[in-house]
Amino acid sequence: MKRNNRREKNLIVKIFGTLGLLATLATTGVAYEFNGTWKAPLGANPDCPVVIHACTTSFPVGSEWFVALEQAVNKWNKNPSNFRFQLRSKKIVGGIEGRLFRPRPKPFLDVTGNLCRSRHANEIWFGAWVAGETGTAVTYLLSPGRQMVEADVVFYRDPKGEVGPKWTTQMKPYRNLVAYGGPYRSFRHVAMHELGHVLGLRHTGDQYSLMGQGFRHTGVNAGKARCYPGEDASHAAVELYGLDCRAKENLSVTHWKYSGKANDDGYAVSVQCKVYDECGHVLGSEDRDSSQEKLGRRFLVSRGQSVQVEFTRENTGKSAQEVRISYLLSEDDDINAWDREIAFVDGVCFERDSVDTQKTMIQLPHDLEVGKEYFLGVWVDSEGAVDEHNEKDNWTYLVIRVKE
């Protein structure tokens, strides 16, 4: 949800993170939009970062919340553009009236009741949950003429934990997260989405993107979720602030894909990828839920069956790459080089400005055990041809079970 208010030639943009969205129809293409850019040298030079201040009452240094915020900043700082953040801890002792940030009539307070705002300083804090709020977080941008002057981020939290979003800083087990049917919002994912607004990006509606449903812009392997800027947001950063010639390469793969645009606020909606038969029909599936926990769904296959397996590929490095992609079978959810390779494709091109969801035809082995569950994994750059800053993004999977 976005509101633009003009007052004394200043543009104040209020951008909410939402609690839930609906799926529609898929399209392709780079889709970023922006609210503004920071004045050079900020953003235009990696050695001149945009400084953001974490309110000490919300983010005590060394706390799990400060560490999670720091890790989200570090993830963003590996994007291939010249833009960088610098996180500092700050005890906020001053503030201004809320007149610039309508409809709030008072200075902002964090959940402890401490004032946490000062003009012309970019700040982040936890704000008390207010009845009627529709979001998990909000970013306020002061950008006259699309020239960024100030950005402030508020994460909503009920001090008593009785209402509002339930936050977690933990990425494992991934099934505890809202994206996978769990009760908790990943603080890291939401923080990365809001930092995208601080960089200058608006919500995306036409592409699988961090700036769409950020909580579903994720990957999973070995029981742990990961968050990352992604291709769409990284390309936007390069377009706005230029390519950093010192940037490293990075490829990634996920089992989520773009599904359409939400009707209510224009967010890009994401759904999980699927397994198809030879003709492109989605295979039957079943719940993996046990009596204790939700485990998602698995697709029903036959021994020796030819299937099309679907994954989304992204390039968040500085240049296009051609690599081998291997498809693996594992008996657990930790996809790694020791798993059984059942197929590979050479010369797969990863462009730097396009999110690519593709189906690949593979034949399942004839010796699979009937009734058994397997993890059908993918490994990007399985020959190790590309020197990447994070190869943990190169693995993920879908779940299958061999039917009778």
Provide the pLDDT for residue 294: 55
Any idea what the Cα angle at residue 223 is, between residues 332 and 391, rounded to 5°? 95
Q: What is the mean pLDDT of the chain?
A: 84
Q: Is the peptide bond before 103 cis (omega within 30 degrees of 0)?
A: yes
Taking the CA atoms of residue 50, residue 51, residue 57 and residue 60 in that order, the dihedral angle to the nearest 10 degrees is: 100
d(Cα 59, Cα 124) in Å, to the nearest integer?
A: 9
The secondary structure element, H or E, covering residue 123 is strand 123-128
* Chain centroid, CA 138 distance in Å: 16
Provide the pLDDT for residue 4: 34
For 72, the 3-state DSSP assignment is helix
Lowest mean pLDDT among 33-47, 50-64, 334-348, 350-364: 33-47
d(Cα 71, Cα 84) in Å, to the nearest integer?
A: 13
Provide the pLDDT for residue 295: 60
DSSP string for 228-268: --HHHHHHHHHHHH-B-TTPPB-EEEESEEEEEE-TTT-PE
Provide the pLDDT for residue 362: 97
d(Cα 152, Cα 136) in Å, to the nearest integer?
A: 14
Provide the pLDDT for residue 129: 75
Provide the pLDDT for residue 119: 57
Q: Place 290 in a pLDDT band, splitting at 50, 70 and 90.
A: low
The secondary structure element, H or E, covering residue 222 is none
For 176, the 3-state DSSP assignment is helix
**Whether the model pTM is above 0.85:** yes
Bridge partners (DSSP) listed for residue 307: 362
Provide the pLDDT for residue 222: 95
DSSP string for 177-216: BGGGT-SBEEHHHHHHHHHHHHHTB---SSSS-TTSSGGG
d(Cα 171, Cα 326) in Å, to the nearest integer?
A: 26
DSSP string for 73-99: HHHHTTSSBS--EEEEEE-------GG
Percent of the chain with pLDDT over 70: 81
DSSP string for 304-364: T-EEEEEEEEEE-SSS-EEEEEEEEEESSS---TTSEEEEEEEEEEE-SS--EEEEEEEE-
d(Cα 374, Cα 273) in Å, to the nearest integer?
A: 16
What mean pLDDT is predicted for residues 247-257?
Answer: 96
Lowest mean pLDDT among 29-33, 122-126, 231-235, 295-299: 29-33
Any idea what the Cα angle at residue 75 is, between residues 389 and 122, rounded to 5°? 145
Domains, the chain, in order of start with CATH, read 2-250 (3.40.390.10), 270-402 (2.60.40.10)
Does 24 score more than 60 pLDDT?
A: no
